[in-house]
Amino acid sequence: MGRPRRSSASLAVDNADAVTPQGKKRGRPSNSRPSSAASGELNGELTKKRKTDVDDTPLLLAFRHTRGSGHVLTVGQGDTGQLGLGEDVMEKTRPQVVGGIDSAVDVAAGGMHTAVLDSNGKVWTFGCNDEGSLGRPIEEEEDSFLPGEVTLPSKAVMICCGDSHTAALTQEGEVWAWGTFRDSSGPIGLTEAGQLQKSPLKVMPGVQVIKICSGSDHLVMLTRGGEIYTMGNAEQGQLGRIMEKFCHRGGRRGIETFLKPDQIHVKSKYGGFAEVWAGSYNTVAVAKSGEVLVCGLNNYNQLGVAEGLTFYMPVESRDLSGHSWGGIAIGQHHAIGQEKDGRVLALGRSEYGRLGLGEGTSDASKATEVNGVAGCTEVACGTAVSYAVTREGKLYSWGMGTNGQLGTGEEDDVWEPYLIASKQIKDRIVIAVSSGGQHTVMIAKDKVEGEVEKINVEKRPGVEVNNGLEANGKAIQAEPAVNGGAAEKMEEN
């Protein structure tokens, strides 16, 4: 079986990249339709139906972690500008600092583009924009190879990226998105069938959202009331609300069935949702009652369910429910989870070393602990690569080395966690990481002499759950951060 080359969307159909006369790859095929005329709000029945979800209590969300801010670094393939290092840099096998962005607090790697969030709540993007995923005007192709600011009406506190779309969550709990979703036949649009959205669009007016996350071609939103809404491609069951017979372009119901955000329904005994993560073709959620519910692709048991290739409606994963998760990341055919005690576990396909369980190991049908990395506070997955960040700010990588994403300086596969120690990060503390189709992006802050080299565990507003997740409310004050113990605080407006 050949190695995945482009992005995690290659499961169904791997369309050939467009090629310039010089032979360089420049973006995706030109089979997209005309873009939407302008930004605005997605109006309609959703606003009327969900008015009751609006709580009069002031809502002010904080950034998703309290680890501070730092420099943006990228590694891997950059033929469409996704490294943010200029048009002359096509690849990097060791992390390189991206200029033009001060004090980054979060990063998101898409299929062939990148989004960065800074400490002022501004969103920056770079990379492939042929389907609107940058959310800003691009007059010259060179403009997409360097960071540029996306115009949003308010301060953003969270970002996420898919193969061809990007989304931002503001401190008021509003979701803005741009780009398009794709299925096995090509682009399907963002909120209107066949229409690319090249500027930010508010997708769920009247509903207060506390978390967003993206798979390759779907967007997942957790509301203040503990509900989950999904939109995008449904072919692998990732939306958790579309019956199989309607999952290819909506059948007689039409694509609008996918593009209009709608709620995932589960039994009342679960009490709603407390946490959610999205993978390439999956959605994984923690119920308030503590169980982990999953939907989407399970062809290598990456969802921790013993039987079943695809789940179009949520089912309980007994294996995943047996753990207390701080985070879960899902690649094309594998998953990496971080327990709240800092342990890292892997399940799914083992090929190319993506599980980190050692060379010659077989696929893992149950969550299996990864040796050689402990005390972790964040995990991430690309198509066939994995990453873990420790509380000391060290970054480990493993998996397929073909695209240079692992930061080893080579293209060999890595079967066990590898400590990235290149000169650009050896004197810095890594605080966040995200991986896309062929590239990886991270944030690293400079070490301060005499500081305690430990970063804080994630803490953000959420909804109540029996395992003690932070309750709803105003923005929270962070615990003492790395920089000399000074506390960071999100100002209340």
Amino acid at 265: H
Beta bridge partners of 175: 169
| Cα–Cα distance, 448 to 28 (Å, whole number) | 43
Residue 17 domain-assigned? no
H/E element, 433: strand 428-435
Q: How many residues does the chain have?
A: 493
- Containing domain of residue 103, as a range? 57-476
Rounded Cα–Cα distance for residues 338 and 341 (Å): 8
pLDDT at position 124 is 98
In a domain, 2, yes or no: no
**Residue 247 confidence (pLDDT):** 87
Assess if residue 250 is contained within a domain.
yes
**pLDDT digits over 102-158, tens only?**
899 999 999 999 999 999 999 999 999 999 999 999 999 899 999 999 999 999 999
Looking at the domain assignment, is residue 23 inside a domain?
Answer: no
**In whole angstroms, what is the distance from residue 422 CA to residue 94 CA?**
7
pLDDT in tens, 238-248: 999 999 988 88
Residues forming a β-bridge with 161: 166
pLDDT of res. 253: 72
- What is each CA distance from 144 to 47, 283, 400, in whole angstroms? 35, 30, 27
79 close to 26: Cβ distance less than 8 angstroms: yes
- Mention every residue, 6+ apart, whose C-beta is less than 8 A from residue 356: 336, 344, 346, 370, 372, 373, 386, 398, 399, 415, 416, 417
Q: Check residue 492 and give its pLDDT.
A: 33
Q: What is the pLDDT of residue 448?
A: 81
39-52 burial code (b ≥16 CB/10 A, e <16): beebeeebeeebee
The predicted structure's pLDDT at residue 11:
39
Closest CA to 255 of 263, 247, 265: 247
* 439 assigned to some structural domain: yes
| pLDDT score recorded for residue 250 | 64
Q: Which residues pair with 128 in a beta bridge?
A: none
Instruction: Please indicate, yes or no, if residue 176 is contained in any of the structural domains.
Output: yes
CATH classification of the domain holding 154 = 2.130.10.30
Cα dihedral 47→48→52→56 (10° resolution):
60
On the 0-12 / 13-18 / 19+ scale of CB atoms within 10 A, 106 is buried
State percent of the chain over pLDDT 70.
Answer: 78
What's the rounded Cα separation, in Å, for the pair 274 and 203?
A: 21
Residue 18 lies in a domain: no
Q: Which two tokens stand for residue 328?
A: 């879960």
* pLDDT at res. 58: 64
Residues of the chain with pLDDT under 70: 1-58, 250-252, 449-493
Residue 363 falls inside a structural domain: yes
Q: Number of structural domains, the chain? A: 1
Average pLDDT score, the chain: 85
